[in-house]
Amino acid sequence: MEKLQQNIEIGLIGGTGSDIALNNLKEIKVYTPFGSPSSTISIGDFKGKNVAYIPRHGQGHIIPPHNINFRANIWALKELGVKFLISPSAVGSLKKEHTKGKFILVDQYIDRTKKREDTFYEGGQLCHISQVNPYCEYLNDIFYQAGKESKLTIQKGGIYVCIEGPRFSTRAESKMFRRWEGDIVGMTTYPEVVLAAEKEICYCCIAMVTDLDVWAGKCPNCGIVEYALRCYKCGSVVDELSVNVPEVLETMTQNAENLKKLLELALEKLDTRRDCSCHHSLKDALL
């Protein structure tokens, strides 16, 4: 493995479709106070920018979401010098208008996780990090413009309900998340987003809709409706829809090229010399 470098400005945590082509590719192993990251980190050049890539679930997708060492991943990327972090995430839709293949640039989350280590500050010095605006507006703007230029179905802003996993939601939970005005449900943005803030890193979550979760049913007359035995509009029998792994993987594979296109165009636009309020998130947060 190569020695640790500290001039990598862009980090990418992802999986299917987020493995953009990097030149001068090298593998680096980073040791952290929190154990091993998900994998060795690939570093390389992308149009004059230094990029570090780590597969969130490890090589071969073997780490379930509740066992990801989020602290080690974020600490390692910060150690490499990362200032801008992009995190693609497969999600289920909680609204009819968020159809399969749509990209949503998340701006808020609701944390429904239970067992995850979600801070670097466990004693000694205390940190109460602000999460009023958890995601980087600058990165969201760049990706939104890139998505529009690429003629992709993309939305700026949306609420991500992050569940513990690895199980999918019950129908009762899925319907509850809709009543909370959630847009999407997934298993990975938390605690990545808050740990990035504690390391003063700009963080962007590109959520890709892969399914309609389990709140949805299909009426022969009215189309997609919230599941009940009979449609609340016309009274017809409603077929239940359920999310499963093959459906998620199929949608991700089909949309991988769009994600790659989005990442490459946005990274080309990203100004790594730009200062951002995210780079000062510890100001007034430490005791």
Q: Could you list the active site residues?
A: 211, 213
Cβ contact 154:101 at 8 Å? no
- DSSP 8-class letter at 230: B
Q: Is 250 helix (H, G, I), strand (E, B) or coil?
A: helix
Q: Kindly give, in sequence order, each residue whose CB lies less than 8 Å from that of residue 193, ignoring residues fewer than 6 positions away.
A: 109, 131, 134, 135, 203, 205
Cβ contact 12:83 at 8 Å? no
Beta strands in 125-254 (DSSP E): 154-156, 159-163, 184-186, 202-211, 216-219, 223-226, 239-240
Q: Is 273 helix (H, G, I), strand (E, B) or coil?
A: coil
Q: Among 64, 51, 63, which Cα is nearest to 10's?
A: 51
Cβ contact 270:85 at 8 Å? no
d(Cα 106, Cα 158) in Å, to the nearest integer?
Answer: 5
Q: Apex CA 110: angle with CA 284 and CA 120, to 5°? A: 45
Q: Kindly give, in sequence order, each residue whose CB lies less than 8 Å from that of residue 201, ignoring residues fewer than 6 positions away.
A: 11, 74, 77, 78, 82, 83, 84, 85, 278, 279
- Residue 55, both tokens: 């597969």
